[in-house]
Amino acid sequence: MLEKSLGLLFYLKKPKDYAEGPVLIYLRITVDGVQKEMSTKRLCEPEKWNGKANRAIGNKEDVKALNTYLDVLQNKAYDARTHLIDRGKIVTALAIRNIISGEDQRQWMLMTLFKSHNDGLKAMIGKGVAKGTYTNFETSHKHLAKFLKSQYKIDDINILSLDLEFIKKLYNWFRTVKDLNHNSALKNIANMKKIVLDCVDNGWLIADPFAKFEMTREEVDTVYLTKEQVQAIANKKITSPRLSKVRDMFIFSCFTGLAFIDMKQLKRSEVFTNDGELRIYKNRQKTGTPAVIPLLPIAKGILKKYEDDEYCVVRDMLLPVLSNQKYNTYLKDLADKCDIEIELSSKMARNTFATTITLANNVPMETISKMMGHKSLRQTQHYAKVLAIKVNEDMAELDKRLTNDKFMADSPILNEERPKMRIV
């Protein structure tokens, strides 16, 4: 970066109606001919001011203290220029003035930056940002506001005050006061850390103050239903119309992998025939990632069942899905009726699609990833780790093939006498 010329001048600025008395001292900052001025918030009698030296005249202690203060401001201006150059920033008179006055630091308030970040996300909803992403950051923002209020009695905090002790205290607050589990606490902290890392990228922080805080999340058991459990739910005779609808929605999700919100918002325009196959083409609400799902017979049948449903026709929807709260409440009743001992949830239906319905039936990982609308194959591979039944089935199939091929069948190894070992 080219060196910028820097000129500094302390001068007295008399008001228009000035008659007599002390006058405010101003600092004029000039960079490449562009000037900005700021008040030093110090006064001096005009007769005690040396315009050539830009300093007060005299040997009294108050004069010496004033001149020392002006020397400090001058050094701060040079340090500010160095600070900007070191961080690759453009050196301007305004930038130097903001650093000296502390205006820059007043702009570096965590909650203010967090809100600005969230406002940006809100404006981008539907344009590369999912509404769920914005909601998650808003929740973290509200949590952080409550934390600062309850623990520090403040509404905001400067990013320069953040350190490892702060983040540890925040984590403990999430675990105790908010009663969040380890992963949920880290998720909220990660959202806040996104703001902090933006500050690092902007050169406002030299380094990440939370770099030494352990952000490793705990492995979460993926709960899913077996084929027998899915069959039991589908075959159960249910007399309650509302519970019957909930059962149908749950089974539909098990055979499509749609998340609750995507199933609830499924429109008629998002299901159509392509190459003779009825498919769902939908962008996931959570991530905005497109999902392409060819429909299995059971899923087609459920759509057919509700094609004339009044609720669906009026709203141009395909399924009469209840609110998330009511849906999960009825799922508990459904589990009781079907003698399912684990707690049913909308997430479990999606897990079941990934494991029992597709992966266990040798559907390629890449295909499952596309149907589930995952951003990367890595997300889908998580399900392969938990599917122990798939390992058993694969080994059983291998055993069958080896037996049919009579591989190692005539090997004398099993007929040989066991070698006798001499104990020393």
Give me the mean pLDDT over the 58-62 stretch.
91
Statement to judge: residues 129 and 58 lie in one domain: no
Q: Quote the CA–CA distance of 300 and 305 in Å, as a whole number.
A: 9
What rounded mean pLDDT belongs to the chain? Answer: 87
Burial class of 283 by CB neighbour count within 10 A (0 to 12, 13 to 18, 19+): middle
Q: Quote the CA–CA distance of 186 and 194 in Å, as a whole number.
A: 12
- Model confidence over 2-30: pLDDT tens digits? 556 889 999 999 888 888 899 999 999 99
Statement to judge: residues 272 and 394 lie in one domain: yes
Q: Quote the CA–CA distance of 134 and 113 in Å, as a whole number.
A: 15
Which range of residues forms the domain containing residue 153?
108-201
Contact present, 316 and 401 (Cβ < 8 Å): no
Statement to judge: residues 251 and 289 lie in one domain: yes
Statement to judge: residues 169 and 254 lie in one domain: no
Dihedral pair phi/psi, residue 80, rounded to 5°: -65, -40
The amino acid at 85? I
- Structure pTM? 0.59
Statement to judge: residues 346 and 299 lie in one domain: yes
Overall number of domains in the chain: 3
- The radius of gyration of the chain's CA atoms, rounded to the nearest angstrom, is 34
Domain membership of residue 19 (yes or no) is yes
Nearest to 155 by CA among 111, 199, 106: 111
- Model confidence over 238-296: pLDDT tens digits? 999 999 999 999 999 999 999 999 999 999 889 888 877 889 988 887 777 788 899 99
Statement to judge: residues 289 and 382 lie in one domain: yes
Q: How many helices (H) and strands (E) does the chain have?
A: 17, 8
Looking at per-residue pLDDT, the higher value among 103 and 83 belongs to 83
For 138, other C-beta atoms within 10 Å of its C-beta total 16
Statement to judge: residues 267 and 364 lie in one domain: yes
Statement to judge: residues 94 and 136 lie in one domain: no
DSSP 137-150: HHHHHHHHHHHHHH
CA within 13 Å, CB half, 193: 22
Nearest to 357 by CA among 221, 225, 223, 222: 225
Statement to judge: residues 80 and 129 lie in one domain: no
Statement to judge: residues 171 and 235 lie in one domain: no
Statement to judge: residues 379 and 300 lie in one domain: yes
Question: What are the distances in angstroms from CA 177 to CA 173, 215, 357?
Answer: 5, 20, 40
Domain membership of residue 15 (yes or no) is yes
297 pLDDT above the threshold of 90:
yes
Helix (H) or strand (E) holding 192: helix 182-201
Domain membership of residue 342 (yes or no) is yes
Domain membership of residue 289 (yes or no) is yes
Domain membership of residue 278 (yes or no) is yes
The pLDDT, as a whole number, for residue 332 is: 92
Give the SS3 label for residue 351. Answer: helix
The pLDDT, as a whole number, for residue 3 is: 57
Give the SS3 label for residue 109. Answer: strand
Domain membership of residue 219 (yes or no) is no
Looking at per-residue pLDDT, the higher value among 106 and 91 belongs to 91
Max avg pLDDT among 207-211, 239-243, 379-383, 395-399? 239-243
Statement to judge: residues 242 and 390 lie in one domain: yes
Question: How many residues are recorded in the chain?
Answer: 424
Instruction: Write out 4-53 in H/E/C secondary structure.
Output: CCEEEEEEEECCCCCCCCCEEEEEEEEECCEEEEEEEEEEECHHHEECCC
